[in-house]
Amino acid sequence: MFWRAGERAPEHPLPFDADRPAVAAARRDPARFEPLYRKYVAQVYSFAVYELRDRHAAEDATEQVFLQALAALPRFQERGEGEQSTFRVWLFQICRRVLSNERRRQSRRAETTLELAETLPAATDAAETVADRDTLLHAMRAIDRLPDDRRRALLLRFVEEMSTAEIAAILGRSEGAVRVLIHRALRSVAAQLVSERPGRRPHSAA
């Protein structure tokens, strides 16, 4: 059992959370938060880079996320089905709020294609690198045009490889709504990629 003696059992069973021992240790001693930081810093940072398109801003945002998580850790509560929350879900809920604030601050600054290209991994073959990077640039521009929840659902699913249940908890949506968000996001991105394909005639059917 994972509730305190004398308390009623939760209405819904708690989800399995491999981080439970580390969370308990960090609550007893904040200095023991480091294993949680090491485990998730790359995931939070990569999500921040995709969201902000600026590596320095992503580094600052990542630092804010973990500082806020450490400060709020005593208040973190696991919850069962319907309001599912593991440590990772809770951490990305904090991440979503931090990045939303940062995107609002960035809204006046224009992004350059070069800055975006620098965040993309390089390929070994030069010709393939050019083609792949061009495709990725078009895809990322299309993703960036999506409404916030569609964009985040897509990135959490395919970049962070989260389940629909985790994404639903992070975004505050139902799992069915998350599936719809991802489906519509994929359709929108695909439609934009087709419309921007080189050599495509403006009057051609989509």
Domain 10-109 class, CATH top level: mainly alpha
In this structure, the dihedral spanned by the alpha carbons of residues 181, 182, 186 and 189, taken in order and rounded to 10 degrees, is 60
Phi, psi of 85 (to 5 degrees): -150, 115
Q: What is the pLDDT along the chain (206 residues), one digit of tens a residue?
A: 334 444 454 555 666 788 999 999 999 999 899 999 999 999 999 999 988 888 999 999 999 999 999 999 988 887 755 555 789 999 999 999 999 988 888 775 544 434 544 444 444 444 444 445 566 677 778 888 899 999 999 889 888 889 999 999 999 999 999 999 999 988 888 888 777 665 555 444 43
Residues 6 or more apart whose CB falls under 8 angstroms from that of 68 comprise 94, 98
**Domain pair 10-109 / 111-206, same fold:** no
Domain regions of the chain by residue span: 10-109, 111-206
User: What is 111-206's CATH topology?
Assistant: Arc Repressor Mutant, subunit A (1.10.10)
Global pTM? 0.67
Q: Are the C-beta atoms of residues 170 and 92 closer than 8 Å to each other?
A: yes
